[in-house]
Amino acid sequence: MANIVLIGAGLGGLPTAYELRQILPREHQITLISPGAKFTFIPSLPWVALGLVPLSRLQVDLGSVLSRRGIQWLSGSVTRLDPKQQQVWVGEQTITYDYLVIATGADLDLESVPGLGPEHGYTQSVCTPHHAELAWQAWQRFLEQPGELVVGAVPGASCFGPLYEFALLADFVLRQKGLRVPITIVTPEPYAGHLGIGGMANSAQLVTRLLWERQINLIDNVAITAITPQTVVLASGESLPFKFAMVLPPFRGPQFVRQTPDLGDHQGFIPVLNTYQHPQYANIYSVGVVTQLAPPEPTPIPIGVPKTGQMTEAMGLAVAHNLAYTLGEIQAPPVQPTLEAVCFADFGNTGILFVAAPVIVPAGERHRTLALRGPWVGLLKTGFERYFLWKMSLGLGVPWFERWALRGLGLTLTRPLPQREPIGPGQLSEDKRGRYLSRVLWLVVLFWLVGWGLGMFVQTPAGATIRPLEESAGQFIYQTRQTLTDRQGQPWQAIAFRRTGQVHLRLVGFPGTVNIDHSRPLEISDAQGKILQAADLSSITFTDSYHPQANVGEYELGSVASELATQAPLSLTVPTKTGIPVHIPVPSAFVVEWQLLKGLPD
């Protein structure tokens, strides 16, 4: 038995833990260490900072999910690591590991420029949930007394998508309110749309034109050297006044990595082999922002390498596979992440889809690059956000249908070691570009519909979600529970579940208030008067040793689930032995969950 410890429960750590739990037998112990019990979808934090969505919409409570998946959770922050003794310290507690996965996400280097950051400086950021909430508070004050708006990044910053998203979304929000203020973007990129990697097809032209259309001033290839309470000071000597400033800081590795000899570089980033193992400590793996990656090309002002969500997922998938191979649990040879990236930048009434495959090669030698503008990008990002939160709430890492969708785009997450396919030209020919764009657009529509549909039940009035429960090795039952109220004001538990291909609905009324007639079917009616019947299965489901109580009924839902309307609430009519049926309204969001059960694997 191996004791595997993961540090971090973000875009890297949580999916990696799920993948490990999926691959490894239960005899291997998996422990996840994180400061809080919530997963946050970080890419959507610019929306929180501008008050477009509440932070709660981007979060999933991890406590119950991890418990169901057989993953131990330890609340706290790692303060010390001894790789030779194979121990980590969380406060006063010492944890011994056989294998360690470090996936802490970003530690913000707010000391890199005087005046940077919201706590001890004068600028806002959208890099953490706490900072996004502080930015929203500052934004509300700004709306009361609007003025100059500066959005920028300091030297060493690596993730430039939020810079453009925040500036253009802020402009969109202000225009909706009838406000116009001077907006200036300040970036250390050599040109707008470089994004830390360069060679991104026509991204420079698209971004520059969009800024021109919105009348947003651009200052590129410049370093911010200091920030005062009301000005951003540039290396050129120019000072930009502001009433609100959102400035992205550089990232670095966590303090415990920086303080551990021979573990990370001077910034705390962890060097890795192709297997994403540490070159000196083979039982330590790295995933996500904390991983050391060389920039694809030098820039006049040093900037970092973006490590996008897809790149991070690919690292986690490779680490889970390689760790399972090391333990002898799978036979497939080791793999490495492809480090390909698909990014959605939402600008309000339009947006840009970026594709770079892969990211870490000389800019002119990528297999594929694409920058595509359209109003559908924001919808696609929303759909993906809700899909990602849904799979995190279910305890899924990278399911087969996500890998299939990526393959449809000609992208993959991992590839075997050690071969390296020859790399073609960075730009697609016109003929191939046309076919690829067509494929992208079809998948955009498909993925948005799937993501939006799944997102409808990430959060519902009763907080319901679909939960997998493992009954035996490799055998899952998927279940969703809702509390409903009949027209007489009595509460009911509605439990829909899928087991071995069958979808059932169990209704449980308050004891003593109802006597269900099990000889008659359940009737399901919609607003147009269409009535469907679900057969009562109580006599088949319950054994002689456990007769169904008068307040419990179980019905065959699978045969009628796909016919249920979801545009408006439905009504359940439960037959009773008194002859007076019970009518239970069902919100349409719950019906979507029931339909989804039919398509889940067993």
Catalytic residue positions, numbered: 159, 343
Sign of CA dihedral 186, 191, 197, 202: positive
CB 186 within 8 A of CB 153: yes
Burial of 146 per CB tally in 10 Å (0-12, 13-18, 19+): middle
Residue 103 carries which side chain, given as an amino acid letter? A
DSSP string, 336-350: EE---EEEEEE-SS-
What phi and psi, each to the nearest 5 degrees, are found at residue 482?
-135, 150
CA 44-307-390 angle, to 5 degrees, is: 40
Q: In residues, how long is the chain?
A: 602
DSSP string, 31-92: EEEESSSEEE-GGGHHHHHTTSS-GGGGEEE-HHHHHHTT-EEEES-EEEEETTTTEEEETT
How many helices (H) and strands (E) are present in the chain, helices listed first?
14, 33
CA distance 91 to 75: 10
CA distance 424 to 224: 37
Complete edge-to-edge strand list for the sheet that includes strand 78-82: 78-82, 87-90, 93-96
CA distance 53 to 346: 14
Six-digit token string for 260: 């551990």
CA distance 476 to 542: 20
Task: Identify the residue whose tokens are 């990430």.
Answer: 458
CA 501 to chain centre: 29
Contacts of residue 202, Cβ cutoff 8 Å, sequence gap at least 6 = 371
